Amino acid sequence: MDSVSERHGLRPNRIAVLSVHTSPLAQPGTGDAGGMNVYVLQTALQLARRGIEVEIFTRATSSNVPPVQEAGPGVLVRNVMAGPFEGLDKHDLPTQLCPFAAEVMRQEARHRPGYYDLVHSHYWLSGQVGWLTRDRWRVPLVHTAHTLAVVKNAALAEGDSPEPATREIGEKQVIAEADRLVANTAEEARQLIELYGAQPDRIDVVPPGADLARYRPGDKAAARAELGLATDERIVAFIGRIQPLKAPDVLVRAAAEVVRRDPTRKVRVLVVGGPSGTGLQRPDALIDLAAELGIADRVTFLPPQPPDRLAHVYRAADLVAVPSYNESFGLVAIEAQASGTPVLAAKVGGLGTAVRHNETGLLVSGHRIDEWADALGHLVDNPESLRRMGARAVEHAAEFSWEHTADGLLDSYTAARMDFRAIRGQLGIGPLVDTERVSRGGVVLPREDDWAAEERTSLATGPESGQTRPRALRRRRMGVRR
Amino acid sequence: MDSVSERHGLRPNRIAVLSVHTSPLAQPGTGDAGGMNVYVLQTALQLARRGIEVEIFTRATSSNVPPVQEAGPGVLVRNVMAGPFEGLDKHDLPTQLCPFAAEVMRQEARHRPGYYDLVHSHYWLSGQVGWLTRDRWRVPLVHTAHTLAVVKNAALAEGDSPEPATREIGEKQVIAEADRLVANTAEEARQLIELYGAQPDRIDVVPPGADLARYRPGDKAAARAELGLATDERIVAFIGRIQPLKAPDVLVRAAAEVVRRDPTRKVRVLVVGGPSGTGLQRPDALIDLAAELGIADRVTFLPPQPPDRLAHVYRAADLVAVPSYNESFGLVAIEAQASGTPVLAAKVGGLGTAVRHNETGLLVSGHRIDEWADALGHLVDNPESLRRMGARAVEHAAEFSWEHTADGLLDSYTAARMDFRAIRGQLGIGPLVDTERVSRGGVVLPREDDWAAEERTSLATGPESGQTRPRALRRRRMGVRR
């Protein structure tokens, strides 16, 4: 597809990436930063390697960051001033979307028109801003939801608060407005269609990747020495934000049960991450839980680790557990497997694809502690299974590279631009001209404006042309919002 | 000022008025509709009489309303689709500001560029949208806050929940971004300056008006007959939304105390309005309170009344009470006085200006029930005082006409447009040209864009021109957001 698209000049030269609520330069595993941050940064770096300039807009949350940072060759992070640096959490951010959008549009206006060829928004908050900039810049909007409120609320962890209805409404709007949607998995595509009414032919399934150069098999003993961990224990690691959604408590409870069943088992739980979301209300809850269950001496906590140190964690572990109530993809599961470490995961969302049951790890349906203890006990007792699965895991993870992801995104971008051009091409006008102004004999300038001009021009040419227009534009005219 | 401004062609021909959260066509006294709705509608009608086309954008909250309604000659109400019709309250609306802004901009784009000469936003939610449209349309933004979170939170009714910090942040942003601010009273101007850092020379104090043709003295006995009220009772009326902020409970308690002190007093409390805001959580609280205090038979409740019937209410009453914890102006107090009815009001916000103590009514500092009972008892027992104050009230209210208000707004609009033109004139370029594009030899078109182009052009001409630029633009470059 690349050669065709390049011949037509449809490959974007410069894209604006919107990541309002969390910076790609933030440390994953703490605050609101997680797999999405890694995704945004890694795909940007890969796209830049292909010659595409990437500018990532994120809300500035510290006075220490400059307005623009270089995240790597060809990748700029623009820290946008919108509201105070501190004191706003994700649920407060809807009040800052207009200021954020205004500032992004002011920054773009410093350049020649047509500076960005496309907008890619991540998470629904960014999608709301992306829709405004798309209208303004007349370029396609590609949107990745990453997580969906309806899905999250349907599988809510005990004690976790549901996402507000306003988020569901906002997501539905963005999904209806976006020119194309990128889903991380086929499961997410199905959710977009069935739960949000997305059109199947506007969705591209593009699996995220892992940094395979960084995460690869290595010396387990050396990794344990680096982290100060014993060499004679079976280590099962949890890597992620400590919050109900990620369910680290399920792992701790299952480990306690495994030890209760056979106290000779030398099991250690390694928790790597910081409290986040509703987990912030009780940051020590997991430590207290381990103490209550009598396995405080078998649980080690580490703060969120930078990528180099995280590579040691994956190698040091015999097993990585991902007990989340929902994961749109499950980047940790891929990174673990790339490191040759099998994964014990909940069979939810993208994890069903990320992990191959009985081949590269085990999938557990639901979150019953006895079932998690069965699976964990089985793996802990069978080093040969772990070795076999670890070897197979490396092969499986090789399919998930950021290079593949970037290729998929480029295809999606090109398709989005092709749709866009098709609509304009079919209408038979280069830059869209405001017919009202022409007929009034005013200043006759092409007006780079929004969809409305297209609609008016199209209606003027009669209904038959409207009937053959591509679906993307028809939808706008026939959809619920019109 | 008018003749000068008309000579310069600076009087606007068509303005966009933003009233996101409540329609000027909604019935005041229920839901979120109150004095602001009356203000938006009446000033629009008056401006239209002066030949200015007014288009009011509000969020559609019912499938029964058409996209466009004529509110009167020259006044259109555009019901904008942004989110579901029902189920969103004022605190949810920040999530719908981007969709609202996108739709407003799409509607504008159906017209020739320069369709609106100015944007006037009411309440901070509209201000956030106004800022985006101002950038886009390159026209001045005039903003009226109506109420301010910092002021409201400083004088919170018992049991009322404080306004969220996100509102204060959003208000501060809008106040910093607006080209001019319209304050209802000198008190509000002071609050804008001292609490929100507004620049004094950008504020115009324009008192709201009352519909003096409708609200004027009339036959009290006939009005009482119309409403089914007895002629031999002393009637004190409360007109407004039933919510803690408006403090109808203070009136009911004071009335109970007045009766307790002298049970021969024939006092009736007439409450006209529906529950709103936090009052919705306990819609019957006021009825229960009257029963608890043993004066259920002395309190009459009427639902919100249309203007014609409201005129009867003002005439039927011997006294109108406005015990609010905060009022930026207090429209009810003016309407009552215009009808020849004295007012008993709390000495807060604009009420200190709207009512002349001992001349057209009484002002009470604070909300102590014994002090309210003292004042109420005094007026109830002194028909001669009521008559004297009523006559003086009519004279006083005559100063507050919507005609005066519209004149004041027009002056503010003209000043805003003059500032705007001064900035552009000084920069020595007609339509602003993007120098980067010109130097690159690209398509040289004037680009109707945002402030950034001005800043760049200005910087290119050297710092000395920047020093003589009007304050409005300097502020943008030197303010906290840059």
pLDDT: is B372 or B28 the higher one?
B372
Sign of the C-alpha dihedral computed for residues B46, B49, B51 and B53 taken in this order: positive
When CB atoms are compared, the residue of B106, B128, B453 closest to A135 is B106
Concatenating the DSSP letter of every residue in B36-58 gives: HHHHHHHHHHHHHHTT-EEEEEE
**Where is average pLDDT lowest: A12-26, A466-480, B76-90?**
A466-480
Strand partners, B269: B236, B299
Average pLDDT over residues B9-30: 88
Cα B165 from Cα B387, distance rounded (Å): 46
- Flag whether A337 is marked binding: no
Are B102 and A131 within 8 A, CB to CB?
yes
Residues of A with Cβ-Cβ distance to B453 under 8 angstroms: 109-110
Q: Is B98 in contact with A98 (Cβ distance < 8 A)?
A: yes
B81, B113, B452 member nearest A447 (Cβ): B113
Longest dimension (CA), chain A: 90
Token output for B258: 């007045």
User: How does residue A82 score in pLDDT terms, banded at 50, 70 and 90?
Assistant: very high
C-alpha–C-alpha distance, residues A408 and A206, integer Å = 6
- ipTM attached to this prediction: 0.76
Helices (H), B67-147: 97-108, 123-137
CA distance between the termini of chain A: 35
What are B174-188's pLDDT values in tens digits?
999 999 999 998 989
A3 falls in which pLDDT band (50, 70, 90)?
Answer: low
Taking residues B60-80, what's their average pLDDT? Answer: 94
Asked if pLDDT for residue A93 goes beyond 50, the answer is: yes
Q: How many CB pairs under 8 A join A and B?
A: 130
Q: Which residue has the higher pLDDT, A282 or B123?
A: B123
How much is the pLDDT for A330? 84
Identify residue B285 by its one-letter amino acid code.
A
Q: In Å, how far is B132's CA from the nearest CA of chain A?
A: 6
Residues of B in contact with A114 (CB under 8 A): none
What CA–CA distance (Å, rounded) separates A196 from A143? 14
pLDDT band, very low/low/confident/very high, at A269 (cuts 50, 70, 90): very high
- Mean pLDDT computed over B206-219: 92
Mean pLDDT, residues A346-365: 93
| Dist CA B263 CA B265 (whole Å) | 5
C-beta atoms of A102 and B131 within 8 A? yes
Of B98, B170, B447, the CB nearest to A101: B98
What is the distance between the alpha carbons of residues A276 and A33, in angstroms, rounded to a whole number?
Answer: 9
Contact residues for B17 (Cβ-Cβ < 8 A; gap 6+): B40, B44, B54, B55, B56, B57, B119, B120, B121, B122
Nearest residue of chain B to residue A102 (CA atoms) = B132
What whole-number distance in Å separates Cα of residue B29 and Cα of residue B399?
24
**Cα B462 to Cα B471: distance, rounded to the nearest angstrom:** 17
DSSP A301: E
**Which of residues A57 and A32 earns the better pLDDT score?**
A57
Cβ of B92 within 8 Å of Cβ of A166? The answer is yes
Q: In the β-sheet with B118-122, what is the strand arrangement from edge to edge?
A: B68-72, B75-80, B53-59, B14-18, B118-122, B141-144, B180-183, B203-205
In angstroms, rounded to a whole number, what is the distance separating the alpha carbons of residues B224 and B318? 11
Q: State chain A's mean pLDDT as an integer.
A: 85
Say how far apart CA A176 and CA A378 lie, in whole Å.
46
Whether pLDDT at B263 is above 50: yes
Over residues A4-30, the mean pLDDT reads: 82
Q: What's the confidence (pLDDT) of residue A245?
A: 87
B82/A131 Cα distance (integer angstroms): 13
A37 marked among binding-site residues? yes
Tell whether residue A419 is among the known ligand binding residues: no
Query: For residue B90, what pLDDT band results from cuts at 50, 70 and 90?
Result: confident
Give the per-residue pLDDT at B3.
53
Q: Mutation test of the interface with chain B: which of A21, A129, A166, A443, choosing the one with the most B Cβ atoms within 10 A?
A: A166
pLDDT score recorded for residue A457: 38
Shortest CA gap B97–chain A (Å): 7
CB contact under 8 A, B113 and A434: yes
What is the rounded average pLDDT for all residues in chain B?
85
Distance from CA of A179 to the nearest CA of B (A): 16
Q: How far apart are the CA of A270 and the nearest CA of chain B, in angstroms?
A: 38
Q: Give the pLDDT of residue A160.
A: 79
- The pLDDT score that the predictor gives to residue B453 is 40
Closest chain B residue by Cα to residue A437:
B112
Give residue-wise pLDDT tens across range A279-327.
Answer: 666 668 888 999 999 999 999 999 888 888 999 999 999 999 999 998 8
- The whole-angstrom separation of Cα B409 and Cα A117 is 42
- Which residues on B lie below 8 Å from A80 (Cβ)? none
Closest Cα in chain A, distance from residue B327 (Å): 25
Q: What pLDDT does residue B96 have? A: 96
Pairing of strands B203-205, B234-239: unpaired
Please say whether the beta carbons of B67 and B77 come within 8 A: no
Q: What angle do CA B298, B300, B301 make, to 5 degrees?
A: 150
Instruction: Check B101 against A98: CB less than 8 A apart.
Output: yes
Residue-level pLDDT at A468: 35
Q: Chain A partners of B105 at a C-beta cutoff of 8 Å?
A: 132, 135-136, 450
Report how far residue B377's alpha carbon sits from residue B267's, in angstroms, rounded to the nearest whole number.
Answer: 9
The C-alpha atoms of residue A346 and residue A354 are separated, in whole angstroms, by 11
Cβ neighbours of residue A390 under 8 Å, at least 6 residues apart? A217, A340, A341, A342
Q: How far apart are CA B222 and CA B314, in angstroms?
A: 12
Annotated binding residue A436: no
Q: What is the pLDDT of residues A386-420, one digit of tens each?
A: 999 999 999 999 999 999 999 999 999 999 999 88
Q: Does the pLDDT of residue B67 top 60, yes or no?
A: yes
| DSSP state for residue A323 in the 8-state scheme | -
**Does residue B164 have a pLDDT over 60?**
yes
The reply to whether residue B170 touches residue A81, judged by beta carbons under 8 angstroms, is: no
Binding-site members of B for 1D-myo-inositol 3-phosphate are 21, 32-37, 90, 123, 147, 167
pLDDT in tens, B438-475: 233 222 233 334 333 443 333 333 333 333 333 333 33
With CB atoms and an 8 Å threshold, state whether B132 touches A98.
yes
**Which residue does chain A place closest to B431, by CA atoms?**
A443
Among B114, B134, B147, B482, which Cα is nearest to A98's?
B134
Contacts of B21 in chain A (CB under 8 A): none
Using a CB-CB cut-off of 8 Å, the residues of chain B touching A459 are: none
Q: How far is CA B327 from CA A382, A433, B354, B410, in A?
A: 74, 49, 10, 24
